[in-house]
């Protein structure tokens, strides 16, 4: 069975959708050179009218994509570095994402904003290591962050076919992940559908992006001590709250890991909604970057800021110990 890498999955999804639908085209900086590999081979196959090299003006590119979408095309804008999304927040959240509502559904803006390498990686420095997904979730923009090649393929296909703007974030650390794949089984993945990578009965770990692989490693290491369910949202907005509720109805304990900053993050929203609406037998825990964390240029300090497997294992043990401590206090008071 052939192996499919995350990057190749993105490339294949783009090629398949461009072959299927002539309205799909890609635009962005350096897409002709395919420096991220995402557009490799597509210029030769589809030509410069559909693999469109753009000037270094992200705001202009985002607005061109909005106009093209309003005119009936399905643009895919590639941003190689995540902070570029912050430059186009107004164009995406305040313009493209509101046209449909403001026009009573008469105008649709089917743009996909593909961030092909997001988050922290050693040596990338402070201005290239952001995780801006919370900004778009907060703004009500459809946002996905798959962790595996098959999900990357399926969600990118779905994003391109969606009639609304979709922000697609590919975590840098997941780009080299490979899966055994039967290409006939590559299918669209619905927005708002979570995936359980490993069932468990003691604690639900909601792992965002590449942290799915960290959660699986920690779950395996704790096997025999704690039964860990690894929950991958895949889609951050819309979020599969029904699936999380079902998971927590069995485990009653929640740990969330996300490499964005702590305050006002997606991890905080997941914990708050779970606390308000779902069954919990212990206070939830989250592992994130610290409040106000700014990744700099010192690799040793940068590593300290990143959520780790050790922190995840410690949080899992904490939520497990809480009920034991409560039981001890109740028995001691009787």
What positions carry a catalytic annotation? Answer: 128
Q: How far apart are CA 334 and CA 321, in angstroms?
A: 20
Q: Produce one character per residue of 128-153: b if its CB has 16 or more CB atoms within 10 Å, e if not.
A: bbbbbbbbbbebebbbbbbbbbbbbb
Q: What is the 3-state secondary structure (H, E, C) of 240-302?
A: CHHHHHHHHHHHCCEEEEEEEECCCCHHHHHHHHHHHHCCCCCCCEEEEECCCCCCCCCHHHH
Q: 166: closest CA among 151, 144, 193? A: 144
Q: What is the rounded distance in angstroms from the CA atom of residue 289 to the CA atom of residue 305?
A: 5
Instruction: Give the separation between CA 219 and CA 230, rounded to whole angstroms.
Output: 8
Query: At residue 260, what are phi and psi to the nearest 5 degrees?
Result: -90, 175
**Short-list 259, 281, 246, 286, CA closest to 270:** 286
Q: What are phi and psi of 268, to 5 degrees?
A: -65, -40
Any idea of the CA torsion for 119, 123, 126, 128, to the nearest 10 degrees? -50
Alpha-carbon distance values, 20 to 14, 17, 166 (Å): 10, 5, 19
Asked if 61 and 111 count as a contact pair (C-beta separation under 8 A), the reply is: no
């Amino acid at each position: 069975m052939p192996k499919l890498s995350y990057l190749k999955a993105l490339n294949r999804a783009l090629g398949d959708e461009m072959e299927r639908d002539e309205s799909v085209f890609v635009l962005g900086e350096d897409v002709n050179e395919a420096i991220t590999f995402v557009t490799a081979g597509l210029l030769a196959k589809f030509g410069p009218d559909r693999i469109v090299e753009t000037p270094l003006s992200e705001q202009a590119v985002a607005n061109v994509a909005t106009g093209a979408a309003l005119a009936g095309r399905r643009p895919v804008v590639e941003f190689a570095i995540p902070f570029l999304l912050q430059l186009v927040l107004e164009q995406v959240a305040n313009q493209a994402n509101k046209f449909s509502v403001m026009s009573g559904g008469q105008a649709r803006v089917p743009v996909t904003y593909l961030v092909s390498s997001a988050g922290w990686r050693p040596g990338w420095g402070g201005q290239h290591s952001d995780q801006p997904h919370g900004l778009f979730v907060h703004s009500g923009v459809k946002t996905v962050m798959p962790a595996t090649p098959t999900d990357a393929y399926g969600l990118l296909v779905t994003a391109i076919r969606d009639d609304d703007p979709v922000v697609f974030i590919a975590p840098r650390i997941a780009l080299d992940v490979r899966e055994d794949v039967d290409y006939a089984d590559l299918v669209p993945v619905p927005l708002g559908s979570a995936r359980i990578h490993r069932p468990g009965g003691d604690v639900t770990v909601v792992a965002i992006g590449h942290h799915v692989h960290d959660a699986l490693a920690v779950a395996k290491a704790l096997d025999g001590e704690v039964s860990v369910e690894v929950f991958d949202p895949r889609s951050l907005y819309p979020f599969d709250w029904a699936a999380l509720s079902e998971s927590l109805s069995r485990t009653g304990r929640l740990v969330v890991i996300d490499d964005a900053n702590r305050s006002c993050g997606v991890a905080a929203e997941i914990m708050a909604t779970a606390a308000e609406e779902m069954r919990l037998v212990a206070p939830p825990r989250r592992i994130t970057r610290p409040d106000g964390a700014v990744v700099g240029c010192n690799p040793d300090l940068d590593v300290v800021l990143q959520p780790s497997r050790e922190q995840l294992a410690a949080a899992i043990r904490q939520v497990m110990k809480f009920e034991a401590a409560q039981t001890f206090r109740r028995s001691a008071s009787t």
